[in-house]
Structure 1
Amino acid sequence: MNGKTTEIKNPDDMSAEPKRFAFDHSYWSHDGFNERSDGYYEPGNAKYADQQMVFDDLGRGVLDNAWKGYNCSLFAYGQTGSGKSYSMVGYGANKGIVPIFCDEIFKGIEEKRKTAGKDEDYQVSLSMLEIYNEQVRDLLNAKSMTIKGGLKVRQHPSKGFYVENLTASSVNSYKEIDGRINDGTRNRTVAATNMNATSSRAHTIVAITFTQKQPNETGQSMTRTSTVNLVDLAGSERADSTGATGDRLKEGSAINQSLSSLGNVIKALADQSMGKKKVVVPYRDSTLTRLLQNALGGNSKTIMIAALSPADINYEETLSTLRFADRAKAIKTTATINESPTDKLIRELREENARLMEMLKTGGVVMAPAGGSASDGNFYNSVYF
């Protein structure tokens, strides 16, 4: 990692020029840390990126956009054992983006409530699911694990794909949301392979819905709702490397199939962003891509983490991940603030009124009176440029 550039050399041909990929951030967190007495890995040199640095660069932007009312998505992609779950969830004292985000949002709510009036209200709810062998399971409801075929994925005409009967748990503090996430994490499907002792055998999506009710400038109540999707994808893997057989082999096949569908969706979206015509985005090819439709190509501000393994035996997988992330850079999403139609209309009218008043002050608009000239002083609402 050199600044924002990641370089990779083929271990079988070290004399060849390295392949270089440029990203918004490029972190090294394999070694170069010092372990504190509480178990936290702090930087031992300028090269090492700790969990707090990653959150400040990535998670902080998700948090700020959630407060503004935007939908946000953050997902980690990479081969098994590369550190996706470590980045998203963390381990021990080294908390990942998900728990730090939850802690920070409740700290912000507490600060707001100190000065909030009676008309202000803040609500947070949590849902947590996994996609195992193309079936959706509710991690906050253990009974859903026994439903044949899993929970149903439906499509709403305006909101897109959603999971029917998914548990949405209301939480009022970081302690509550941390407890619920820990409950869901214990229900996750994990298993040991030759490459990872705690390999995720399913994709996990943590969805946090944040609703704000605040009075606007006129004193009327305004509601904004933000949905934050934090996605920990299962790792791509090769059967000969993981030693997978039986159920592990079936799980790995389903994981690779859904990740292949994700790659096809990202390629199609990148082609669209570059101006190619008549591109069909194959969202329906897998359960994962259906549920990530909004995050990938819809109303969302989205961040992707590409987790890499520094081991030379993983050269091909690492190069594949870098190319995947390089394609994802080209995708453009259009995010809008989520507010009620009435609130949106009022806000747009106020903005338009302010714009016209500013143009009046600068002489750019003449307000014409009914049946007369502008000098008559009898104005009405037609605007002439």
Structure 2
Amino acid sequence: MPISPEEKDNVKVVVRVRPLNKRENELKSKSVVSTNGNQIILTHPLDEKQPKTFAFDNCFNSSETTSSDQAQVFDDVGTDVVQNAFFGYNACIFAYGQTGSGKSYTMMGSPENQGIIPMLCDAIFARIETESSELTQFKVEVSYMEIYNEKVRDLLDPKSSNKRNLKVREHTILGPMVDGLSVLAVSSFEQIARLIDEGNKCRTVAATNMNTESSRSHAVFTIRLTQIVSDLQNDFSGEKVSKISLVDLAGSERAQKSGAVGKRLEEGANINKSLTTLGMVISALAERNSKKEKFVPYRDSVLTWLLKDNLGGNSRTVMIATVSPAADNYEETLSTLRYADRAKKIVNHAVINEDPNAKIIRELREEVDNLRQQITETRERQVETNELRERLAESERLIEMMNKSWEERLKETEMVYKERQKDLAEIGISLAESGIKMEKNRFYLVNLNADPSMN
């Protein structure tokens, strides 16, 4: 199958304005944000300055009478991502905004109003059902991780309760990757929804003054869609593989305003560090397209390192900027809109990913042979040898995973699920499909949250 030509494509940027919340209404804060089509107008609370106007690909305003719901946002943002995935393009959606501006609600939603992530997964399996045939088959794999205090944790690993942090490194063939991250095979939307729900229970959440359900970690949910097309006449089959990264960033906030102290203050510093680096990457990429080649500091934070392909690389990317309309949040809203305005200038270079597996397996085997040779030659230099052994173990794990049959992969996912249920039961949590299942002589602590997706 021929490789398609590279397509240049600007990052799509949309803005979502939420309604005034309970805290803002209690403060009698007035709204300083309005929209006019694809334009958003920000008025200074004291009317001291000229209103600032920004133009984006789309604006959704829930603070005015023309309310925007979850389905509207998904139709504009998610539908194209699903379409591109089935063409074989990598895609990314990431939500950015201050704490409490509606990022988690937009990405994950609630049981009554599902967000982009569950709606997109549902749409993928609905399309698989209509397009599957004897000649066209599909495989779906998922991973879910959080980046907390610049450390990566697997949200789908039953052993994640021991807070085991995973290593991030630049793989010579696969690019930035997380060593040992669970990649689970799934065959239905129900199965994927169950994994998302379990991953959300593991996310690091803590209250700040800004938002009593504040997510303190960046969450990255990745879907890998493989499309296998067969030509029986010519005894030939080819693959298209696309990776969809769905990112719910931790909230940006000022320490003085959020009331963060101690550990919360340290978290805020790490969150702001990664978001500042993200801003620097966005600025460098925006300038690179208009001027000479500019250094892009991807590796200055774990977040930007892992999103390298999605920012200026092989991906079709959407940024959702979420803002509060309250006068109290004028500075944060202005900062978010400026951030989003810069992101519009980023140009990605997306290609259709066809027939990569055979090439990747061959290159991984060559790397394994090279690493074994290097280990033999560097036995005396212990530190270097340990690093090579780690890389060798990860490459061997990847080859083993890629050589397993699809049926074996699905069985492994089911085994991981059973292991997780067993671990939860051992610490006193027994989960039934309908909720908590009570057992005799056991006591339960249940984390109920005002945001249902964080229960």
Query: Scaled by the length of structure 2, what TM-score is found?
Result: 0.69
The amino acid that maps onto 1:2 is: N
How far the C-alpha of 1:236 sits from its partner, in A, is: 0.4
* Contact preservation (8 Å) 1:142, 1:187: no
Root mean square deviation of aligned Cα: 1.7
- In structure 2, which of residues 15, 35, 52 is the aligned counterpart of residue 19 of structure 1? 52
Match of 1:298 in 2: 313
In 1: Cα distance, 2:95 partner to 2:336 partner: 11
Match of 2:118 in 1: 99
- In structure 2, which of residues 74, 77, 89 is the aligned counterpart of residue 58 of structure 1? 77
**More displaced, 158-167 or 293-302?**
158-167
Larger radius of gyration: 1
- In structure 1, which of residues 223, 235, 239 is the aligned counterpart of residue 251 of structure 2? 235
Q: Percent identity?
A: 51
- In structure 2, which of residues 273, 277, 281 is the aligned counterpart of residue 257 of structure 1? 273
* Contact preservation (8 Å) 1:207, 1:228: yes
Deviations 1:49-82 (A, max 9, x none): 1110100000000000000010000000000000
- In structure 2, which of residues 281, 287, 304 is the aligned counterpart of residue 271 of structure 1? 287
The amino acid that maps onto 1:172 is: S
The structure-2 alpha-carbon separation of the partners of 1:343 and 1:244, relative to structure 1 and needing over 3 Å to count, comes to closer
Match of 1:192 in 2: 207
Q: Does 1:29 align with 2:48?
A: no
Q: How many aligned positions are there?
A: 324
**More displaced, 73-82 or 154-163?**
154-163
- In structure 1, which of residues 294, 307, 311 is the aligned counterpart of residue 326 of structure 2? 311
In 2: Cα distance, 1:147 partner to 1:96 partner: 27
Q: Does 1:49 align with 2:68?
A: yes
Match of 1:330 in 2: 345
* Contact preservation (8 Å) 1:141, 1:167: yes
The structure-2 alpha-carbon separation of the partners of 1:107 and 1:342, relative to structure 1 and needing over 3 Å to count, comes to closer
* Contact preservation (8 Å) 1:153, 1:164: yes
The amino acid that maps onto 1:154 is: R
Q: Does 1:71 align with 2:86?
A: no
How far the C-alpha of 1:179 sits from its partner, in A, is: 0.2
SS at match of 1:199: coil
- In structure 2, which of residues 217, 236, 239 is the aligned counterpart of residue 220 of structure 1? 236
* Contact preservation (8 Å) 1:222, 1:343: no
Match of 2:107 in 1: 88
How far the C-alpha of 1:30 sits from its partner, in A, is: 3.2
The structure-2 alpha-carbon separation of the partners of 1:189 and 1:17, relative to structure 1 and needing over 3 Å to count, comes to same
How far the C-alpha of 1:112 sits from its partner, in A, is: 1.8
How far the C-alpha of 1:342 sits from its partner, in A, is: 9.9
SS at match of 1:212: strand
Match of 1:7 in 2: 41
Q: Does 1:137 align with 2:153?
A: yes
The amino acid that maps onto 2:61 is: W
Gaps of at least 5 residues in structure 2 are 1-34, 360-455
In 1: Cα distance, 2:81 partner to 2:136 partner: 22
In 2: Cα distance, 1:263 partner to 1:249 partner: 20
The structure-2 alpha-carbon separation of the partners of 1:342 and 1:289, relative to structure 1 and needing over 3 Å to count, comes to closer
- In structure 2, which of residues 298, 301, 317 is the aligned counterpart of residue 283 of structure 1? 298
Gaps of at least 5 residues in structure 1 are 33-46, 345-385
In 1: Cα distance, 2:327 partner to 2:235 partner: 62
How far the C-alpha of 1:208 sits from its partner, in A, is: 0.4
SS at match of 1:11: coil
- In structure 2, which of residues 171, 179, 183 is the aligned counterpart of residue 164 of structure 1? 179
Deviations 1:166-185 (A, max 9, x none): 00111110100000000000
In 2: Cα distance, 1:218 partner to 1:261 partner: 50
* Contact preservation (8 Å) 2:239, 2:356: no
In 2: Cα distance, 1:310 partner to 1:102 partner: 30
**More displaced, 85-94 or 334-343?**
334-343
Deviations 1:149-195 (A, max 9, x none): x1000112343200000001111101000000000000000011111
Match of 2:198 in 1: 183
The amino acid that maps onto 1:4 is: N
Q: Does 1:155 align with 2:170?
A: yes
Deviations 1:9-66 (A, max 9, x none): 1102x2632100000001102354xxxxxxxxxxxxxx21111010000000000000
